[in-house]
Amino acid sequence: MRRVAVIGIGITKFGEHWDKSLRDLALEAGIKAITDAKIEGEKIEAGYLGNMAAGNFAMQEHLGALLADQMGLNPIPAVKIEAACASGAVAFRQAYLAVKSGMYDIVVAGGVEKMTDLDTETVSKILSAAGDQEWEAFQGATFPSLYALMMRAYMQKYGASQEDFAHVAVKNHKHASMVEYAQFRNVITVEDVMNSKYVAEPIKVLDSSPITDGAAAVVLASMDVAYSYTSNPIEVIASAQASDTLSLADREELYYTKASEIAAKQAYKQANITASQIDIAEVHDAFTIGEVLAIEALGFFKKGEGYKAAVEGQTTFGGKVVVNTSGGLKAAGHPVGATGIKQIYEIVTQLRGKAGKRQVPNALYGLTHNVGGSGATAVVHIFSKV
């Protein structure tokens, strides 16, 4: 099995793009990634695109063929991959495995979602299909309500308060204020979070990620080929994926994300490192409780202690592990199919030492954690400087 590296990255501005279509966004990110890799399009042998619901959001299916056509990559094989909000990370994983196996030398992986053309109620209904349609969505359970159950269970189990979770939002907005592609670059306070309206108690508006348009893309190559294009390839040293029950009611516990923990353990074993060696992580914080559950499942903090991390400054610059320098889903935005690739874009930028004001000094290892639904799919990747 071969070593694999990321040699090119590209991203659009995240936010509301009234003047751009789904194909416009995907094309912009893809061209940026190919240009950054300093390769000709004909060198790309396959394409993998993460997307959750373009058929509902944009009335466009068959995205693999669409993007291969629009980017001038025909006749390469190109495929759309769906795994709810983890679509981008699963697309990247398939691209990674294709190169690692020796099937291809150079491939592109991307993610895109165009969501803001529809009203909030319709978007929420479409997103709810990522849960159990029969036992959750049909009964009226949206993702804010499912995560509210998880947050309340965690609070009751460990004694955390709503203010503790507010610190996660405050930290991620502060990080996003330094990120040019972030949807929200405004700094907020704990009081702002606490004074925002409830979406599903105890989750408030400012505990929640926004509805977002955006795209991101990366170019992967085998390590022996990578050096033909860059002197600074970023190696993918682990890729792991795990599954849990689709329905939240069937989980062992509401305050524990089993699939994330399993994927993390597999990834650390592949990379031959421990959680303590991770310098920087992009984790799935669709709601503030999501980041707390993630940093515990990933082994950065003990179970029941993750809620203290943002309060104590342990997940920002100078802390134990810097989490979500992009601003996370919370502030950078959450175009669901693109989120997993955006996380990789941010980690590669950091490991290249090109993150500007938000640069984590001397970062060697970076991790991404992308979740589908309320935790039914979890994908963990680990990256390293070479």
Each residue of 168-225: pLDDT tens digit?
999 999 999 999 999 999 999 999 999 999 999 999 999 999 999 999 999 999 999 9
Alpha-carbon distance of 340 to 337, in angstroms, equals 7
Peptide bond into 75 cis (omega under 30): yes
Question: pLDDT confidence of 1, banded at 50, 70, 90?
Answer: confident
The CA radius of gyration of the chain, in Å to the nearest whole number, is 19
Same topology, domains 4-118+211-234 and 126-209+237-385? Answer is yes
Calculate the average pLDDT of the chain: 97
**Alpha carbon distance 375, 3 (integer Å):** 29
Say which residue, 365 or 139, is predicted with more confidence. Answer: 365
Indicate the domain borders of the chain. Answer: 4-118+211-234, 126-209+237-385
* pTM across the whole model: 0.98
Question: Domain spanning 126-209+237-385: which superfamily?
Answer: Thiolase/Chalcone synthase (3.40.47.10)
Tell me, yes or no, if 17 is annotated catalytic: no
> What local confidence, expressed as pLDDT, does residue 104 receive?
98
Which pLDDT score is estimated for 169? Answer: 98
- Rounded to an integer, what distance in angstroms lies between the CA atom of residue 241 and that of residue 261? 10
- Please tell me the distance from the alpha carbon of residue 289 to that of residue 287, in angstroms, as a whole number: 5
> Is residue 295 over pLDDT 90?
yes
Topology annotation, domain 4-118+211-234: Peroxisomal Thiolase; Chain A, domain 1 (3.40.47)
Cβ contacts of 122 within 8 Å, gap of 6 or more: none
Q: Which of 85, 175, 284, 369 is catalytic?
A: 85
pLDDT above 70 as % of the chain: 100
284 noted as active-site residue? no
Q: What is the pLDDT of residue 10?
A: 98
pLDDT band at 243 (very low <50, low <70, confident <90, very high): very high
C-alpha distances out from residue 113 to 13, 18, 63, 170, Å: 12, 13, 11, 26
Tell me the C-alpha distance between 113 and 64, whole Å: 14
Catalytic residue selected from 17, 167, 173, 334: 334
